[in-house]
């Protein structure tokens, strides 16, 4: 039903029933489920003034952004093609420059929140920010209590990073600068692992503040 709306545009329950050969009761049941999941939304149809008659027109159903995300798209392929062109035209340095530019944007976006909390809360704050970005991040304490693992259970750019690992490398360095310590990437979804895992060692608050101050001076 959602694909029919995707291919044919906003549709009424009646038009969906005719197009798909389903009963009105069946159509209503599916529509209720899709509306509940926020894959569809209902709105008034656009009708030219000269064609408007008496009575209220039947609502039409259209895909939401969330609904469109359920279908295949070519954004990843476009990104890979763009980076391949960049590599061919400017070499490895050009790709790394792009990766670092993306990493700096991650820093810019999360730095205010991370810098606004105590050193012990910075990792939690970063994980929350990454989750808002779509990475479904969490924190796990290492068994020997030598540090924590920052886990990203989803990676929106995994398909691209599989061919261009520079993106992961630059992102890891950005995490280190945000947290004020050297971190180590242990696994990545792009490399076929089930989750992106970054080891963050246990360090003192004094060391964190000293490292962050050093990074700020270097950037200045």
Domain boundaries, the chain: 2-68, 75-219
pLDDT of 100 reads 96
Model confidence at 79: pLDDT above 50: yes
| CATH code assigned to 75-219 | 3.30.1380
Cβ-contact 99, 74 below 8 angstroms: no
What CATH architecture applies to the domain 2-68? Orthogonal Bundle (1.10)
Model confidence at 54: pLDDT above 60: no
Model confidence at 130: pLDDT above 90: yes
Model confidence at 51: pLDDT above 80: no
Q: In whole angstroms, what is the distance from residue 42 CA to residue 130 CA?
A: 32
Place of tokens 């062109």: 85
Model confidence at 149: pLDDT above 50: yes
Model confidence at 106: pLDDT above 80: yes
Question: How many other C-beta atoms are found inside a 10 Å radius of the C-beta of residue 63?
Answer: 20
Give long-range contacts, CB 8 A cutoff, 24+ apart: 87-90.
Answer: none
Q: In whole angstroms, what is the distance from residue 132 CA to residue 88 CA?
A: 34
pTM of structure: 0.63
pLDDT of 164 reads 95
Domain 2-68 and domain 75-219 have a common topology: no
């Amino acid at each position: 039903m959602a694909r029919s709306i995707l291919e044919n545009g906003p549709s009424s329950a009646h038009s969906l029933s005719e197009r798909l050969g389903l009963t009105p009761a069946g159509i209503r049941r599916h529509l209720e489920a899709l509306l509940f999941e926020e894959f569809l939304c209902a709105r008034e149809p656009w009708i030219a003034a000269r064609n408007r008659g008496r009575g209220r027109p039947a609502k039409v159903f259209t895909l939401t952004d969330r609904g469109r995300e359920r279908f295949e798209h070519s954004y990843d392929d476009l990104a890979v093609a763009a980076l391949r062109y960049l590599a061919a035209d400017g070499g490895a340095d050009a790709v790394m420059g792009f990766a670092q530019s993306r990493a700096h944007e991650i820093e810019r976006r999360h730095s205010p929140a991370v810098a606004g909390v105590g050193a012990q809360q910075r990792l939690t704050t970063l994980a929350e920010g990454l989750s808002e970005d779509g990475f479904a991040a969490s924190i796990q304490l290492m068994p020997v209590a030598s540090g924590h693992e920052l886990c990203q259970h989803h990676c929106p750019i995994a398909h691209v990073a599989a061919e261009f690992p520079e993106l992961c490398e630059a992102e890891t360095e950005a995490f280190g600068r945000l947290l004020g310590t050297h971190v180590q990437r242990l696994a990545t979804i792009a490399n076929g692992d089930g989750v992106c895992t970054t080891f963050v060692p246990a360090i003192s608050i004094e060391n964190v503040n000293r490292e962050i101050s050093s990074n700020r001076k270097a950037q200045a």
